Structure 1
C-alpha cells in the first residue's frame, strides 16, 4: 500500500476543523443509531475534467450525513437545517480563503457543495440529514 494518507482521511480531518461541528465525532461509512456524523463516499466518475495533453482534474464526491434529534417540532427542524446551511457557508468561506483538505500527493483545487443539506429519512426520534459535496484536485 502507498504511504500517502487516503483522501477520505484528509476530508475527515478537514471537516473536523469545523468549529461548530457538534461533539466532533465523525465516522467513515458508519452512522450508529444515535446522534452522530459520517462521511460517506459517493460513487462518481473520478475524472472531473480531461485535457488534450492527457492530464486531468479529479473529483472525490462524498456526503456528510448525520443523525439528529427529530421530533417534528419546528425549532428542532430549524436547528438541524441551520447546521447544514452554516456548514455550506463554512465550505464557501474556506474556498474564498484557499483552505482545503490537506492532500498528500495531490493538489486540492476546491470543495463544492453539490446538494444542500436536507432531511433524508426520519425515524421515531432521529432524523437522517445529509449534504453532498465534492473535492476537486489534481
Structure 2
C-alpha cells in the first residue's frame, strides 16, 4: 500500500472529522474533493521526497499533502471551520508526541506528522467554499 493510502487511513481516524461533520462515517477521498459540503480529500502536494541521504543508503523522506474540505460558507460556518482546523493541527502534533503515526511496515518507519500551515480559505463559490491545511509526514526508509 502506498504512503498516500497509509496517510489517508490515518487521517480517517481523526476524532474531529466525525464531530465536525456530524456523521457516523466521514468520507475522506484521495485527490477528489466533491462539490457537496461537507467532504474531505487528501491531495498530494509537489515536494522533494528525500529530505536526507545517509552514507549507508538509507533516506529520511517526506510526503507533503493538504487536507482539503468543502464547507458551507457563512460567518458561523467559517468560525466552526477555523476551530476544526486548529483542532486538527493540534491532533497531528499530539499524534507525533505520542508516536501514534501511520502504520508502516518493512523497510519504512514513521517519524512525524504535522501541519505546516494553518487552515485557510482556498476558494469561495457562493454558499460553499474550500478550506485546506498543508501537512508533512516524515518517514525513514532503510535501503
The alignment's TM-score, normalised by the length of structure 1, stands at 0.90
Give per-residue Cα distances to partners, 1:48-101, cap 9 Å, x unaligned.
122344322011111000001102x2x221101111000000101111110101
Report whether the alignment pairs 1:43 with 2:35: no
Report whether the alignment pairs 1:58 with 2:61: yes
Give structure 1 stretches of 5+ with no counterpart: none
- Aligned residue for 1:120, secondary structure, equals strand
Give per-residue Cα distances to partners, 1:20-63, cap 9 Å, x unaligned.
20231000000111110000111111101223443220111110
Report whether the alignment pairs 1:127 with 2:101: no
Choose which of 21, 26, 29 in structure 2 pairs with 1:27: 29
Give the aligned CA root-mean-square deviation in angstroms: 1.2
Question: 2:89, 2:114 within 8 Å by CA — same for their partners in 1?
Answer: no
Choose which of 108, 111, 114 in structure 2 pairs with 1:109: 111
Shift of 1:104: 3.0
